[in-house]
Structure 1
Amino acid sequence: MDRKYIFGHRNPDTDSVTSAVALSYLKNSLSDNTVPKVLGDVNKETKYVFDYFDMEVPEKLDNVKIQIKDLEFDKIEALPEDRSIFSAYNYMNDNRVRTLPVTGGDGVLMGIVTMKDIAMNHIFGEGMVIDTTYDNMLETLGGKAFNRAKDIIKGNITVTAYHTSTIMRDSILNEASIVIVGDRYEIISHAVDMDVELIIVTGGREIPPEYLDKAREKGVNIISTQNNTFKTSKLINLSNKLDSIMKREIVKVYSDSYLEDFKELLSSSGHSKFPVVDNHKRYMGILSRRHVLKPSKKKVILVDHNEFEQSAEGIHEAEVLEIVDHHKIGSMATTYPISFRNEPLGSTNTIIYEMYKEKSIEIPDKVAGLIMSGIISDTLFFKSPTTTEKDRKYAEELAEKLDVDLGEYAYDMFKEGTSLKGMTKDEIFFSDYKEFEHKGIKFGISQVFTMDINEIKTEEEEEIRMLKEKLGELNVDIAMAVFTDIIREGSYIISYSRIPGVLKASFSKDSPGFFLEGVISRKKQIVPRIMDGIENTKL
């Protein structure tokens, strides 16, 4: 079963992270194969929640672009570089393979061999030189081991066509000689005396015991083959190791690289097949042009968002299977029908808790704690106007199950989460930042919760200067920082717009910084006002 990734929006908050984990546990309890992920660093509040319930924060997912490892490339078996050319030819011929990968130790790709390479080497190669192993020689010649003195065979081929006296007089044989001989025992005896590298006896001839004893004593390799001398001479070069003919300078593709980059390589390269390797250069398979025509996409399930702008980079390349969310319907579009559960509740975790109930799946205490925390966080402990009776009821049920004082836990969680100590202005701004679009106008809103809004007011001018910079940096028309005071139940808003009149039409305020009592929900109270302001502004 293909693995599916479950994740919330960028700049993850507590509701998005905990709902991803909770839904993943539910899915896997129903025999699915899912993994929760996050699209960025978690904030202090979320970290507090996971530490409190002794749970691991999900790993970060950089993007969901199609990677080479997602493609169904050919899993062609590779041969080790010390295997024979003969074995490579047989494998390629039997399996109709035209390009064969060659690997070294630990499966590292060393090169490739093609049928053309084998043919060209057989016709034009240096056929007199052998660098191989005893096993390769036995395999290539269909031989029988008469004496195996050493495993590595390196030398030059000598076919004993000359008279024995000529061979001895001209010192034709030496320690590097690989001798091909029939039943000429005087030459075999002389070859043993010369400590040759290997004696190959053709025609399946038996060797008298005295010659074998002498070869064992001297440490000389002897092989017998049923092939005649002519066929043996034709085949022996194929016993050489693959590394003698493989192409070492090859264009390879890393499995973690992206399909879009590979397409560029395809258009600029004259090659049609590319070996695929992992980050350690270990061989994985062969990729060709046909594999990119219908690529396999990453399968994903989205929680707590349904807008492309808020989702993972490369979401257009992924296959969205399901969405569970409590926000307005956004820009997400899919090729095929999907399961889309969207309810007007205060938290995505409220929906997921209901899904547990519907499936009659028992919730472990640790997961129950995450769900409870997500509901508390997104409803601002039931103070947000998005809060419903169902949110409150489910949070209280979970608190009772866990024997937790809901009020004390919520206070400690918010206290930890609203601490801005040690954070840069950028870290504060992007800790919970979301982008929206209406009528072609893009606006980005950062929301930060605090228990002391006065410290924000003293830095208003610096905040405005930063927002001006963000307009260009983020390519938005309106940049806004919302500092929500949980105690006073209101928000201090600092904003900057490149479009005159929109902010005044939205909030009836002239100054760039102002407090709005009772406004604590970005989704339900701020975003709709900006959309109305855009509608009522002459652009």
Structure 2
Amino acid sequence: MASVEQPELRTSVAGEQVWLVDYTDLAQAPDDLNQAEILGIVDHHRLGDVMTVNPLEAWIWPVGCTSTILFNLFKMENAEITRPLALLMSSAILSDTVGFASPTCTQKDRDAVAELSVLAGITDLEGFIKALLIAKTDIEGLSAAQLVEKDLKAYPFNGRELVVGQVELATLEQVTDMIDALEADLQRRCDEELLALAALMLTDITTAQTRLLFKGEWSEKLAKHAKDGVLMMENTLSRKKQGWPWLQTELA
């Protein structure tokens, strides 16, 4: 739709000057990031464990999407925002905020989309949001391992490593037949990567209900919240603002 090629996936940045966009945790960075010079950060998550040798430029805002910050930086620098770029940025904000429904959404996100949608030529915003969320929740053809990997983030916590993934769905029934396979993949990751916990949030974006799958040696800290082996989190859409903070409290 935007006719933009997918960028190259960079796994090595040694000797380069880089900006970190949408993360500040070393666990989410290339392994050789410590051999690069970090010039700046643009992010909307909590500050992670990245350390720098030199002072840097940092733009970290409590908004629903990093693209909202980028949009404002473009405006500050009077940089051109082309139609394809406006389409990508508005889509990113709408996806991250689940069509403005997420508790992470702010007025800055809404204002950014209002301007970007004009530049992108989006004439029916509600229709665009509906189509975007349909595409966002389409998991047809994906294996259990691919679903876990789809939006997986690593976190250092209490001296250990853990991962928390999220799959956004139109209904939890989409994964009913995959629960065993998903849990098996979480256990595999714990065994192979020596993780204290591997968790997966299965989120129904229409009801804000999340089923949490979890495996690992820290599982017993969460099991008390499960009923008949199922841990449901009501009114939970956001990993950043709801899921991860809850996990930190329970795992402490």
Question: TM class by shorter-chain length?
Answer: over 0.9
The Cα of 1:54 is off from its aligned counterpart by 1.2
Alignment match, 1:59: 8
Q: How does 1:464-479 map to 2 (within 5 A)?
A: 464-479=183-198
In the alignment, structure 1 residue 525 sits paired with structure 2 residue 242 = yes
Cα deviation, residue 452, structure 1: 2.4
Match of 2:154 in 1: 435
- Residue aligning to 2:126: 407
| Aligned-partner Cα distance in 1 for 2:209–2:239 | 11
Corresponding position of 1:327: 45
Give the structure 1 partner of residue 232 of structure 2. Answer: 515
Q: How far does residue 420 in structure 1 lie from its aligned partner after superposition?
A: 1.5
Inter-partner Cα distance in structure 1 for 2:239 and 2:147:
16
Q: Does 1:489 align with 2:208?
A: yes
1:395 maps to 113
Structure 1 CA distance for aligned equivalents of residues 182 and 83 of structure 2: 42
Cα distance in 2 for partners of 1:449, 1:464 equals 17
Cα distance in 1 for residues equivalent to 2:38 and 2:119 = 34
Given candidates 165, 188, 196, the residue that maps to 1:446 is 165
Contact (CA 8 Å) 2:44, 2:66: kept in 1 or not?
Answer: yes
Amino acid aligned to 1:456: V
What is the Cα deviation at residue 504 of structure 1?
A: 4.4
Three-state SS of the structure 2 residue aligned to 1:459 is helix
Query: 1:272 corresponds to which residue?
Result: none
CA distance 1:443–1:314, shift in 2 (3 Å) = same
Distance 1:305 1:500, change over 3 A: closer
Aligned: 1:425 with 2:144 = yes
In structure 2, the residue matched to 1:365 is 83
Residue 94 of structure 2 aligns with which residue?
A: 376
Residue 377 of structure 1 aligns to a residue in which SS?
helix
Are the aligned partners of 1:451 and 1:485 in contact in 2 as well (CA < 8 Å)? yes
Is the contact between residue 383 and residue 489 of structure 1 (CA under 8 Å) also seen in structure 2?
Answer: no
- Cα distance, 1:334–1:396 mapped onto 2, change above 3 Å: same
CA spacing shift, 1:440–1:368, aligned 2, 3 Å:
same
User: Which is bigger in relative contact order (C-alpha 8 A, separation at least 6)?
Assistant: 1
Mapping 1:16-35, distance limit 5 Å: none
Contact 1:460 1:513 in 2 (8 A): no
Counterpart Cα distance in 2 of 1:473 and 1:408:
43
Matched residue type, 1:62: T
SS in 1 for 2:109: helix
Alignment of 1:501-512 (within 5 A): 501-504=220-223, 508-509=225-226, 512=229
Distance in 1, matches of 2:145 and 2:96, equals 22
2:24 aligned partner: 306
Residue deviations 1:121-149 (CA, integer Å, cap 9, x gap): xxxxxxxxxxxxxxxxxxxxxxxxxxxxx
Name the SS for the 1:374 alignment partner: helix
Cα deviation, 1:32-79, whole Å, max 9, x if unaligned, reads xxxxxxxxxxxxxxxxxxxx11111112213123xxxxxxxxxxxxxx
Are 2:68 and 1:354 aligned?
A: no
Deviation string 1:383-426 (CA, Å, 9 cap, x unpaired) is 11111011012112211333312221122222223222222211
Q: Which moved more, 1:353-362 or 1:372-381?
A: 353-362
**Uncovered stretches (5+) of structure 1, i.e. residues with no partner:** 1-51, 66-296
319-328 vs 396-405, greater mean Cα deviation: 396-405
Secondary structure of the 1:340 match is: strand
1:512 deviation in Å?
Answer: 4.6
What is the identity, as a one-letter code, of the residue corresponding to 1:345?
V
Per-residue CA deviations over 1:314-350 (Å, capped at 9, x if unaligned) read: 1111111111000000010011111111010000000
Measure how far apart 1:528 and its partner are: 0.9
Separation of aligned partners in 2, 1:55 and 1:466: 33
Letter in structure 2 aligned against 1:373: S
Aligned equivalents of 2:8 and 2:219: distance in 1?
42
| SS in structure 1 of the partner of residue 200 of structure 2 | strand
Matches within 5 A, 1:76-475: 297-404=15-122, 405-475=124-194
**RMSD (Å) for aligned C-alpha atoms:** 1.7
Give the residue type in structure 2 aligned to 1:374.
Answer: A
